[in-house]
Each structure stands twice: as C-alpha cells, then as structure tokens.
Amino acid sequence: MSNANPVLFKRRGAYIPRIAAVHDLCGYGKCSLGVAIPVLSAAGCDVCPVPTSLFSAHTRFPKFYMHDTTDMLADYLDAWVDEGIELDAVYSGFLGAAEQVASIQRLYREHPKALRIVDPVMGDGGVMYPTYTQELCDAMRGLVDGADVLTPNLTEASILTGIEYEGQNLTDEQVGRYLDALLSMGAKSVVLKGIVRGDGFIRNYIAVRGEKGTEVTEVADELLPYMLHGTGDLFASALLAALMCERGLADACAFAGAFVRDAMKVTREQPDFEVRGVSFESVLGEITQLVQ
C-alpha cells in the first residue's frame, strides 16, 4: 500500500469496532451525532456518543437553543473508565467550549492505540460559526498534533494555521502551503476539503507524511450547484466508515465524496432542503456495502 493511500485500521473477522463520537447533538437538522451514529453504524461499528452540546436545531436556523455539556463530561468519562470500555477510534467534531479539548485529550491518554480522527468544525465560507470564540479555536489547535487524520475545510485550515483565507479557488501551490503547515503542526495525515476552480469539480487533497517525505493525492468529484448544511459532518463520517472497513485513506476520501454527492442529490428533492440539512438515509446502502 502506498504512502498516499495507507490502510489505518485492520478489522478482525466479524469484530465490531467501537468508536467514541465526540460531537454535538441536534434535535432538528442533519449534522453531527445525527449523522455520525447512523453512518458509522451502517459500516458495522459500535458508536459511543460523547455529546459536547445539545441543540434544538443546527446553527443555520435563525433561532436555536444550545446547552453546553462541559460540566458533565468528567463524570461521563469516569463512568466509562469504571465500565472498562475499550475504543478503536476517537472521532471528534463540533465542540461547545474550549475546556472540552481536554476531554478529548483524556480519551487519547486512556486509549493510546485508538485511531484519532479530528474534524475541526469551526466555520465555513471564511466565517467562524456563531457559537465559536477565538479561545475555542485556539484550543482546537491542541488536537492537531498526533491526529491520524485531520479533515479541515479551507476556513478551518486558515484558522488553525493563521494563513489568510483567500476563498476556494486555490492553486496547487496555495494548497501545498496549507498542507505543509498542518503537517508541521503534528498531523499525521490531512484531508483538505473544498477547493473549487470553476471547472465543475470540487477537489479534496490528501497529504500523508512518511519516511520518504510527503505524498499528496488529489480527489475530485462533481460540484453540485447548491450548498447544504451538514455535508462536512457527512463527509468525515463516511470517510471514517470506509477507514474502519479497511479502505486506504485516498480510497476512503473518494468514497466519502461520492457518498456526499449522492446524498445531496436526494436532498434536493426534500422540502426546505436549503436549511434542513443533507438527507442521506436513502443512500445508506452505499455504506453497508463497505462491510461486505
């Protein structure tokens, strides 16, 4: 297997991998745990949620209620220790407070062999999400070092690295600057999402640093003429689903991109699709086929 397409998880027969999903939970709107649980379950994984906050609806809606769960996380994870829970992966996304980074790092210490998948959910389109603060964004940098896979979009890559956000139409040289900066922060591999050059495609770039240097792979897919909330969560969850089914990183990235595209096409047929979030339920069969 080439350095650019490493297999990061070896599955043993009928064994069901266990994944801690450290994300928020929305009552309405397709994102976060509402995406991660069904997608990873369809890939034959045991998903153990660690809710970082509770939302009545996702932040694309003009009005929403948010409950920060930071105060409960220590007791929550203490109970896991008492139960002797073992993890094969720790998958983190949206956080409710800067202090929650310490809970993820605790999981890393308690499960040193677990795969670390970090989706640094902080913003999009050059703008931070409304519940985020600069303190929380600064704390998120603490999860980059040691991440087996880091999956930022261009806004998040800009926040993490300090490189000025210049939109989605980036040259290969500009993409390389982001990738080099993120790898130098300690990420073992990076999937940089959302490069658009006006040619009908959306590109993701995978960078893996190995003994012989850094290898970069480009994966392109059809660019649809509309955007949807929750596609980043769906992409990262589908990517992890493929990884846990022993697909190589570049292959998993290509699979995730195609899965999101197919889900977006279904979503266009749903009422209020612009704000409701990406509807993936009817294409989950693509995920279950990974297990076969």
More confident residue, 63 or 221: 221
Residue 47 neighbours by CB under 8 Å, 6+ apart: 19, 21, 36, 37, 40, 41
10: in domain = no
Q: What is the pLDDT of residues 176-212, one digit of tens each?
A: 999 999 999 999 999 999 999 999 999 999 999 877 7
Q: Please report the DSSP string for 70-124 in residue order.
A: HHHHHHHHHHHHHHT---SEEEE---SSTTHHHHHHHHHHH-TTSEEEE----EE
9: in domain = no
Contact 87, 116 (CB under 8 A): no
DSSP assigned state of 280: -
4: in domain = no
Tokens describing residue 98: 């800067």
- The dihedrals phi and psi of 153, each to the nearest 5 degrees, come to -85, 180
CA distance 187 to 144: 5
CATH number at residue 54: 3.40.1190.20
8: in domain = no
Contact 22, 224 (CB under 8 A): no
Strands of 129-269 (E only): list them: 149-150, 189-196, 201-210, 213-222
169: in domain = yes
Tokens describing residue 138: 């600064």
Q: Name the pTM for this structure.
A: 0.96
CA distance 114 to 20: 10
pLDDT exceeds cutoff 90 at 61: no
CA distance 259 to 192: 17
CA distance 23 to 81: 20
Give the pLDDT confidence score for residue 2 in this predicted structure.
Answer: 52
Please, which residues bridge with residue 118 across strands?
A: 92, 150
- Which CA distances in Å does 231 have to 68, 124, 154, 187? 23, 11, 14, 23
Tokens describing residue 49: 């949620």
10 Å CB burial of residue 71 (0-12, 13-18, 19+) is: exposed
- pLDDT confidence band for 1 (50 / 70 / 90): very low
Q: What is the pLDDT of residues 105-148, one digit of tens each?
A: 999 999 999 999 999 999 999 999 888 899 999 999 999 999 99
Number of separate domains in the chain:
1
Task: List the one residue out of 183, 192, 249, 241 whose CA is nearest residue 8.
Answer: 249
Q: What is the pLDDT of residues 232-288, one digit of tens each?
A: 999 999 999 999 999 999 999 999 999 999 999 999 999 988 888 899 999 999 999
CA distance 68 to 33: 15
Domain membership of residue 40 as a residue range: 18-287
53: in domain = yes
178: in domain = yes
Helical (H) or strand (E) element with 54: strand 46-55
